[in-house]
Chains A and B, each alone.
Chain A
Amino acid sequence: MNRLDFIKISEWIKPESKILDLGCADGALIKFLKENKKTNGYGVEIDSRNIEHGMKNKINILQMNLEDGLSVFDDQFFDTVILSQTLQAMVNIEKIMDEMKRVGKNIIVSFPNFGYWRNRVQVLGGKMPKSRELPHEWYNTPNIHLCTIDDFEDLCHKKNVKIIDQLFLTNNKPIKFFTNFRSSIAIFRLTK
């Protein structure tokens, strides 16, 4: 596996630290971090098929609904909390941001950038965008809260979290300039 987002996220993770991956799917990132950084971590996932599949890996996955909050975890329990490609599917985004601040010392959030030029072109053409990152039809998409990189920065400001690092990708390659226009995925490293 050579996912640049995984590699970059792992650079931000201290060896042997405690991590929580929210919306962890089958736990691929937790497994990657466990193998590469010897982290001790848990994943939270809602989908039964992902839980079933993830159970094959020797990782900890908890089937819970993120919308209900993270009450099973104590304050400041984790060194890093990761919300990978899940933000846009949440109903209550401010609540999950508050909960991540509560249980984690550092926060990593990745999401599909709605400001990516291909999305903009499709909207200009009169259609809701579809892409590798946003593969669903408008009527069946789980992605109900799409935002651009600039929008997310505004939210961080409002929520009083500092941005320590950012990474922007398109087709698994880093984007350096005009990021809100040129990148399809954004990854933010945040702290309080």
Chain B
Amino acid sequence: MINSVGIVKAKKFNCNEKLVLSCGDVLSSFTLIYETYGSLNAKKNNAILIPHALSGNHHVAGKYKKEDKHSGWWDNMVGPNKPIDTNKFYVIGVNNLGGNDGSTSSKSINPKTKKVWGSSFPIVTVKDWVASQKKLTEHLGIDKLFAIVGGSLGGMQAIQWSLDFPDYVNKVICIASAPNLTAQNIAFNEVARQAILKDENFSKGNFYNHNKKPKNGLRLARMLGHITYLSNDTMDKKFGRKLVNNKFNYDFSTNYEIESYLNYQGDKFAESFDANTYLRMTKALDYFDLEKNYKKKLSSLFKKIKADYLVVSFSSDWRFPPSRSKEIVKALLDNNINVSYAEIEAETGHDAFLLASNHYHNLISNYLNQKI
């Protein structure tokens, strides 16, 4: 495993301080699952936090066992001598509240009722996540984050960090993100949610005691998501009109390769992902609306920001297009904040933020390694 952080282990942070959520509910305590790579230096100023996007988690890089088929979700970006270089930086991945992979969520026990939260687990927001992540970084002894690097929903968390804790963040790298979702984006999220909510096995979110999970709904939600993460060009190139067995079946079995791909992705996801988490992640996206939450225009809100920014977008990303990134850039410029902006030519749509390309990786690496 050259250039890999190697074998890693997830860790657990139990926070016994209460957390007041945006919706008004209070978590009396909570748990975050996280991973770290590299080591914190003596000055404690080399930490980089990587918040995850919709279906991500704390497992950013490396493998749990040598035999694992897959590495962490951003293994091409994080590791020794990679753009986010673990020889130099102390990198933190964290599973968000309400998340799928062990942090306090619908699957956890509600300490008050001693029962599984299920559908009663509150809707958490980007702001809530950031507040909980701050508890973790303090617990890890970090005085100031060197950087926060986030793509998509992760980019929203990065922006929120720089607003809520302006003195705690040096640099923000905000990739393929937006200051809020468009109506079209909310529409996609709503179709995904309806697919889950209307699944007969959803049982109003309290399906953990049943043998059946709302897999059909999740499957559909994921299939829809996948369509929107790719560009038309990529789909054409990758699948085109290719048939799985070179002939029309004249029935409703999987006939085209794109169908086979979506079905596979849907099945895989439905096996491993929690429906309540999916619902809540999409809500966090929808409710990320800084102008509404703070009752201020973005450019007057951004006055508070002290971090330097690198904003990155991808030309074929139609879910978080370059124009949305430019709105972030504009609001930063209005406040004379140090900001650089790169619009990367890529044909792979929103997914491009997770894919390796030399130019993209060099940009991130050059930015993080600027002489101070």
Interface residues of A (CB under 8 A from B): 18, 40, 42, 48, 51-64, 72-74, 77
Asked if residues B369 and A56 are in contact (CB atoms below 8 Å), the reply is yes
Asked if residues B326 and A72 are in contact (CB atoms below 8 Å), the reply is yes
Complex: chain A residue closest to B362, CB-CB: A52
What DSSP secondary structure best describes chain A's contact surface? mixed
List the A side residues contacting B339 at CB < 8 Å.
42, 60, 62
Complex CA distance for A62 and B311, rounded to whole angstroms: 9
Q: B181 in the interface, Cβ–Cβ < 8 Å? A: no
Q: B200 in the interface, Cβ–Cβ < 8 Å? A: no
Number of interface residues of B (CB under 8 A): 24
Complex CA distance for A14 and B359, rounded to whole angstroms: 35
With a 10 A CB-CB cut-off, give which of A18, A53, A60 has the most chain B CB atoms: A60
Asked if residues B329 and A40 are in contact (CB atoms below 8 Å), the reply is no
Q: B194 in the interface, Cβ–Cβ < 8 Å? A: no
Asked if residues A63 and B338 are in contact (CB atoms below 8 Å), the reply is no
Asked if residues A58 and B333 are in contact (CB atoms below 8 Å), the reply is no
Of the candidates B310, B336, B344, which one forms a contact with A40 in the assembled complex, judged by CB atoms under 8 Å apart?
A: B336
Asked if residues A51 and B370 are in contact (CB atoms below 8 Å), the reply is no
The proximity string for B residues 325-341 relative to A, scoring 1 for CB distances below 8 Å and 0 otherwise, is: 01001100110101111
B232 to chain A, nearest CB (A): 23
Q: B271 in the interface, Cβ–Cβ < 8 Å? A: no
List the B side residues contacting A60 at CB < 8 Å.
338-340
List the B side residues contacting A52 at CB < 8 Å.
342, 359, 362-363, 366
Complex CA distance for A48 and B367, rounded to whole angstroms: 14
Q: B345 in the interface, Cβ–Cβ < 8 Å? A: yes
List the A side residues contacting B326 at CB < 8 Å.
72
Of the candidates A18, A48, A58, A64, which one forms a contact with B370 in the assembled complex, judged by CB atoms under 8 Å apart?
A: A58
B17 to chain A, nearest CB (A): 37
List the A side residues contacting B359 at CB < 8 Å.
48, 52
Complex CA distance for A58 and B341, rounded to whole angstroms: 13
List the B side residues contacting A77 at CB < 8 Å.
333
Of the candidates B329, B336, B344, B345, which one forms a contact with A62 in the assembled complex, judged by CB atoms under 8 Å apart?
A: B329
Q: B295 in the interface, Cβ–Cβ < 8 Å? A: no
Complex CA distance for A53 and B367, rounded to whole angstroms: 10
Of the candidates B310, B336, B341, which one forms a contact with A64 in the assembled complex, judged by CB atoms under 8 Å apart?
A: B341
Asked if residues A62 and B341 are in contact (CB atoms below 8 Å), the reply is yes
Complex: chain B residue closest to A40, CB-CB: B336
Complex CA distance for A63 and B341, rounded to whole angstroms: 6
Complex CA distance for A55 and B369, rounded to whole angstroms: 9
Given contacts A60-B338, A60-B340, A61-B340, contact A51 B363 (CB under 8 A): yes
Complex CA distance for A18 and B337, rounded to whole angstroms: 12
Complex: chain B residue closest to A43, CB-CB: B340
Given contacts A55-B366, A55-B370, contact A48 B345 (CB under 8 A): yes
- Which A-B residue pairs are the 3 nearest by beta carbons? A55-B366, A62-B341, A58-B370
Complex: chain A residue closest to B338, CB-CB: A60
Q: B286 in the interface, Cβ–Cβ < 8 Å? A: no
B222 to chain A, nearest CB (A): 33
Complex CA distance for A91 and B55, rounded to whole angstroms: 44
A38 to chain B, nearest CB (A): 14
B211 to chain A, nearest CB (A): 53
23 A-B pairs in the complex with CB atoms less than 8 angstroms apart: A40-B336, A42-B333, A42-B339, A48-B342, A48-B344, A52-B359, A52-B363, A54-B340, A55-B340, A55-B362, A55-B363, A55-B366, A55-B367, A55-B370, A56-B369, A58-B371, A58-B372, A60-B338, A64-B341, A72-B326, A72-B330, A73-B333, A74-B334
Complex CA distance for A52 and B330, rounded to whole angstroms: 21
Complex CA distance for A54 and B371, rounded to whole angstroms: 12
B64 to chain A, nearest CB (A): 34
List the A side residues contacting B369 at CB < 8 Å.
56
Complex CA distance for A135 and B318, rounded to whole angstroms: 38
A40 to chain B, nearest CB (A): 7
Given contacts A56-B370, A58-B372, contact A51 B333 (CB under 8 A): no
B323 to chain A, nearest CB (A): 11
Q: B35 in the interface, Cβ–Cβ < 8 Å? A: no
With a 10 A CB-CB cut-off, give which of A52, A73, A77 has the most chain B CB atoms: A52
